[in-house]
C-alpha cells in the first residue's frame, strides 16, 4: 500500500504538466496535419488507380503493336492534365495585351509624345474599352475641334500665369545635365545677373549648353527667409510654417525691419519698371497677387497692372483712394444683352433671358409697391418707408457686388497714372501683410526677372530621371520653383538652338493667377503713317521692343512679350514641339 500511495502522486504531476504546456494552436496544428495527411493519402490512392489504368492501356497497346518506338511516342503524346487549353491561351493573350495597352504608357500619350507601338490585329482588342482606346478617341475629337493641335504654330503662346512646376519629356537625352562644373555655374550666373546673351554673342564666358541652361533657371526674389516657404503662399503648410515663424510673430522690431526692407525693394522695382529696365514683376500677397507690366508689353503703350483675386472690400478701398479701375472678366448684364448672334436659337435664348429679367424686375417693383402699401396701412411714415427701401436696395447691391469675390471674374485692371496710385496704395496697405497666421508679419513676395534692391538670387530645384516603358526610354527634366512667364519660352528657345527635334512640357500652375492670361490684354491694330505714294503700317510692338531694349531680354524673347496680338495669350497647361511646330492645350 505504501508503494501504491507513492506511485499515484508521481503520475498525476506528469499529466498535469503535459496538459499545461499543450496550447490550443498546437492542437489545431495537429488537427490540420491529420487533415492534410488524409487528403494526401486520398490523392495518392486516386493517382494509383489512374496509373494502373494507364499501365493496363499501355500494355495493351504494346502487346498489339509489338513496337517499342510506338509505345514511346504514345507516352510522349499523353495529355498533360495541368496544361492550359487553346481557348484559355487566346483569352489570356488578349487580356494581357489589353492590360499592356492600358498601363503607364498612357502617361506619355497624355504628354502628346508619339511612341512607336505594336498594332494589334485582333478586332476584339481594338474595340475593347481600354484606357488607350478612350484616349485615342478623345485625341481625335480634340484634333478635329482645335486648329492649333492639328496644324501647330511656329511661336509659343504667352502665359502670364505663375507656375510652380514644369516637366519636360523627350525620347532623346537633353543636351545638358543638372550637375554643373565650376565654370558652367559661374558663367550661367554671370550671364543672368548681367543680362548677357552668352549663347549668341562672342564672349569669354562658358557657352556650353549647361551654362546656358543654368542661366535660364534663376530668378530674383524678396524677401528670402530660408526657414519659410514664401512661394506659393498656400494654407496647406500652416502648422509647420507657424512653428518656424514664431520668432517673427512675437517680435515687433523684426516685423518693422522686414517691412522697411520690403518698401525699399518694392520702390526700387517699380522705378525700374517705369524706366522700362524691367519688363514685369509680381507681388504675391497672402490673399491676392498683383502683376505690374511695363509700357510696351502686350502692345499697351502705358504702364499697367492687374490684381486678382479681389473682394468687395478691397475694391471699396480702391474707390476711396480714387483709383479708377475696370473689371474685364466680369459678366455685365448690359454688355451681355448687346451681343448679337446670327444663329436664331442663340438670339432666341438671349431674348428669353432679357424677358425673364424684365419679368423679375416687374415682380420686384410689384413686391415693393405691396410692401409700401402694407407699411402705410400700419401707419408707418413715408420717410421711414424710404429709408427701409434704401437700405434694402443697398443690401441687394452689395450682394451683387460680392458675387464675384475671390473668383477669376474679380480681376481688376488699372493703367497709366492709376498704376502709380495703385503702387502708393499697396505700399501703405496694411491688409497686404497678414496679422495672424503662418506668415504673420511677413511682407508679400516680390518676383522679378531682373535685379533690384534687396533681391536674392534664387535657383530652381532641378530633378532629372529616366522613364522606361517596355522597350522605350524617355528622359525627364523637372523644374520646381517660382517659374515666371519668360522661363518656358527661354528653355524652348534653348532646346531649339540645341537641335532637339521632339519634346513635350506639362505645367503645374498657381490657379489663382490664371485670370492674368484669361484677361487677354492686347491691341489688334497698328499705327498707320500716311505718305505721298503709299501708307506705311508700323506695328505697335516695334516701339515697345525698341524702348525695352535694356530690360534684360534678348531680341527674340522681347518681341515675344511685346506682341500686341491677344490671341497669343493663352492659359498653357501642356506644350509639344515636333517638326519645328508648337502645339498646346
Predicted confidence at residue 37, as pLDDT, reads: 87
Tell me if 474 sits within 8 A of 189, measured CB to CB: no
Sequence-distant (6+) residues with CB within 8 A of 21 are: none
Q: What share of the chain is helix, strand, coil (3-state, %, to 5)?
A: 50, 15, 35
Q: How far apart are CA 66 and CA 81, in angstroms?
A: 27
- Residue 228: CA count within 13 A, CB half-sphere: 27
Q: What is the phi/psi pair of residue 225, to 5°?
A: -115, 110
Q: Residue 176: which of 213, 146, 230, 222 has the closest Cα? A: 213
CA 230, distance to chain mean position in Å, is 18
Q: How many residues does the chain have?
A: 585
Q: Residue 394: which of 406, 386, 383 has the closest Cα? A: 386
Q: How far apart are CA 375 and CA 253, in angstroms?
A: 59
pTM over 0.75: no
DSSP category for residue 157: P
> Which secondary structure element, helix H or strand E, spans residue 483, and what is its range?
strand 472-483
Tell me if 444 sits within 8 A of 433, measured CB to CB: yes
3-state secondary structure at position 222: strand
Structure-block grid coordinates of residue 556: 527674340
Q: How far apart are CA 101 and CA 118, in angstroms?
A: 10
Predicted confidence at residue 490, as pLDDT, reads: 94
Q: Residue 187: which of 169, 153, 213 has the closest Cα? A: 213
What Å distances lie between residue 417 and 283, 303, 453, CA to CA? 19, 8, 24
3-state secondary structure at position 280: strand
3-state secondary structure at position 172: coil
Tell me if 58 sits within 8 A of 71, measured CB to CB: yes
> Which secondary structure element, helix H or strand E, spans residue 256, and what is its range?
helix 252-274
**Residues paired with 576 in a beta bridge:** 504, 583
Residue carrying C-alpha cell 520702390: 267
**Residues paired with 27 in a beta bridge:** none
Tell me if 584 sits within 8 A of 576, measured CB to CB: yes
What Å distances lie between residue 201 and 205, 208, 326, 491, 496, CA to CA? 10, 13, 43, 18, 17
Task: Annotate 71-132 with DSSP letters as a single string.
Answer: HHHHHHTPPPTTPPPHHHHHHHHHHHHHHHHTSTHHHHHHTT-----PPP--HHHHTS--HH
Predicted confidence at residue 10, as pLDDT, reads: 45
Using DSSP, how many helices (H) and how many strands (E) does the chain show?
22, 15
Q: Which long-range contacts (CB under 8 A, 24 or more apart) does 525-534 make?
A: 525/564, 526/564
CA 405, distance to chain mean position in Å, is 23
Tell me if 71 sits within 8 A of 62, measured CB to CB: yes
pLDDT in tens, the chain (585 residues): 444 444 444 444 444 444 456 788 888 888 888 898 888 888 888 776 665 665 555 555 445 544 544 544 444 445 555 555 555 554 445 444 444 444 445 444 444 544 444 443 343 444 444 444 544 444 443 444 344 444 788 889 999 999 999 999 999 999 888 789 999 999 999 999 999 988 777 788 999 999 999 999 999 999 999 988 899 986 545 445 566 677 788 888 999 999 999 999 999 999 999 999 999 999 999 999 999 999 999 989 899 999 999 998 899 999 999 999 999 998 763 443 333 333 333 333 333 333 444 444 444 555 556 666 766 666 666 777 666 666 666 666 666 667 788 788 899 999 999 999 999 999 999 889 988 888 888 999 999 999 999 999 999 999 999 988 788 888 999 999 999 999 999 999 999 888 888 899 999 999 999 999 998 876 544 444 445 555 554 455 566 678 898 998 988 899 889 988 888 999 999 999 988 899 998
What Å distances lie between residue 224 and 140, 220, 249, 445, CA to CA? 47, 10, 17, 8
Q: Residue 577: which of 488, 515, 516, 517 has the closest Cα? A: 488
Question: What b/e string do you get for 148-163 counting C-beta neighbours within 10 Å, with b at 16 or more?
Answer: ebeebeeebbbbbbbb
Range list of β-strands (E), 251-330: 280-284, 289-293, 304-308
Predicted confidence at residue 579, as pLDDT, reads: 85
Sequence-distant (6+) residues with CB within 8 A of 35 are: none
Sequence-distant (6+) residues with CB within 8 A of 337 are: 350, 353, 354
Rounded (5°) CA angle 192-196-200: 125
3-state secondary structure at position 580: coil
3-state secondary structure at position 40: helix
Amino acid at each position: 500500500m505504501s508503494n501504491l500511495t507513492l506511485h499515484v502522486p508521481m503520475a498525476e504531476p506528469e499529466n498535469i504538466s503535459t496538459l499545461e504546456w499543450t496550447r490550443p494552436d498546437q492542437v489545431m496544428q495537429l488537427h490540420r496535419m491529420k487533415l492534410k495527411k488524409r487528403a494526401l493519402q486520398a490523392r495518392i490512392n486516386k493517382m494509383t488507380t489512374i496509373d494502373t489504368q494507364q499501365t493496363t492501356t499501355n500494355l495493351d497497346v504494346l502487346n498489339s503493336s509489338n513496337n517499342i518506338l510506338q509505345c514511346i511516342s504514345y507516352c510522349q503524346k499523353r495529355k498533360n492534365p495541368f496544361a492550359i487549353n487553346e481557348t484559355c491561351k487566346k483569352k489570356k493573350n488578349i487580356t494581357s495585351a489589353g492590360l499592356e495597352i492600358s498601363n503607364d504608357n498612357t502617361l506619355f500619350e497624355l504628354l502628346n509624345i508619339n511612341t512607336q507601338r505594336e498594332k494589334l490585329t485582333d478586332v476584339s482588342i481594338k474595340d475593347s474599352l481600354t484606357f488607350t482606346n478612350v484616349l485615342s478617341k478623345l485625341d481625335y475629337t480634340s484634333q478635329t475641334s482645335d486648329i492649333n493641335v492639328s496644324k501647330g504654330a511656329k511661336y509659343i503662346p504667352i502665359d502670364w500665369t505663375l507656375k510652380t512646376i514644369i516637366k519636360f519629356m523627350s525620347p532623346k537625352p537633353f543636351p545638358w545635365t543638372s550637375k554643373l562644373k565650376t565654370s558652367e555655374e559661374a558663367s550661367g550666373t554671370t550671364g543672368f545677373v548681367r543680362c548677357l546673351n552668352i549663347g549668341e554673342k562672342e564672349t569669354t564666358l562658358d557657352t556650353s549648353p549647361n551654362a546656358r541652361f543654368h542661366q535660364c533657371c534663376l530668378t530674383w526674389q524678396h524677401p528670402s527667409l530660408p526657414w519659410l516657404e514664401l512661394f506659393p503662399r498656400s494654407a496647406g503648410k500652416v502648422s509647420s510654417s507657424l512653428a518656424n515663424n514664431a520668432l517673427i510673430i512675437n517680435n515687433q522690431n523684426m516685423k518693422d525691419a522686414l517691412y522697411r526692407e520690403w518698401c525699399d525693394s518694392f520702390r526700387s522695382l517699380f522705378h525700374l519698371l517705369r524706366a522700362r529696365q524691367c519688363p514685369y514683376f509680381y507681388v504675391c500677397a497672402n490673399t491676392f497677387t498683383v502683376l505690374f507690366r511695363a509700357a510696351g508689353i502686350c502692345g499697351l503703350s502705358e504702364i499697367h497692372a492687374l490684381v486678382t483675386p479681389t473682394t468687395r472690400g478691397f475694391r471699396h478701398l480702391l474707390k476711396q483712394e480714387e483709383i479708377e479701375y475696370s473689371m474685364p472678366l466680369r459678366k455685365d448684364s448690359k454688355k451681355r444683352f448687346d451681343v448679337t448672334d446670327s444663329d436664331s436659337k442663340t438670339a432666341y435664348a438671349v431674348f428669353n433671358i432679357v424677358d425673364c429679367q424684365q419679368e423679375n424686375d416687374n415682380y420686384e417693383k410689384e413686391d415693393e409697391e405691396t410692401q409700401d402699401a402694407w407699411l402705410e396701412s400700419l401707419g408707418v411714415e413715408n420717410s421711414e418707408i424710404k429709408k427701409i427701401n434704401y437700405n434694402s436696395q443697398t443690401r441687394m447691391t452689395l450682394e451683387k457686388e460680392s458675387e464675384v469675390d475671390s473668383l477669376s471674374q474679380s480681376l481688376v485692371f488699372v493703367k497709366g497714372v492709376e498704376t502709380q496710385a495703385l503702387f502708393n496704395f499697396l505700399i501703405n496697405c496694411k491688409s497686404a501683410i497678414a496679422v495672424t497666421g503662418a506668415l504673420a508679419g511677413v511682407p508679400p513676395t516680390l518676383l522679378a526677372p531682373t535685379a533690384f534692391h534687396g533681391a536674392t538670387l534664387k535657383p530652381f530645384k532641378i530633378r532629372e530621371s529616366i522613364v522606361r516603358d517596355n522597350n522605350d526610354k524617355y528622359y525627364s527634366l523637372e523644374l520646381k520653383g517660382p517659374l515666371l512667364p519668360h522661363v518656358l519660352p527661354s528653355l524652348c528657345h534653348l532646346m531649339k538652338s540645341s537641335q532637339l527635334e521632339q519634346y513635350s512640357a506639362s505645367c503645374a500652375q498657381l490657379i489663382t493667377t490664371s485670370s492674368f492670361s484669361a484677361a487677354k490684354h492686347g491691341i489688334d491694330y497698328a499705327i498707320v503713317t500716311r505718305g505721298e505714294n503709299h501708307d506705311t503700317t508700323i506695328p505697335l510692338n516695334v516701339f515697345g521692343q525698341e524702348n525695352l531694349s535694356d530690360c534684360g531680354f534678348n531680341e527674340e524673347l522681347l518681341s515675344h512679350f511685346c506682341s500686341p496680338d491677344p490671341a497669343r495669350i493663352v492659359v498653357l497647361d501642356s506644350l509639344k514641339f515636333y517638326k519645328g511646330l508648337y502645339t498646346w492645350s
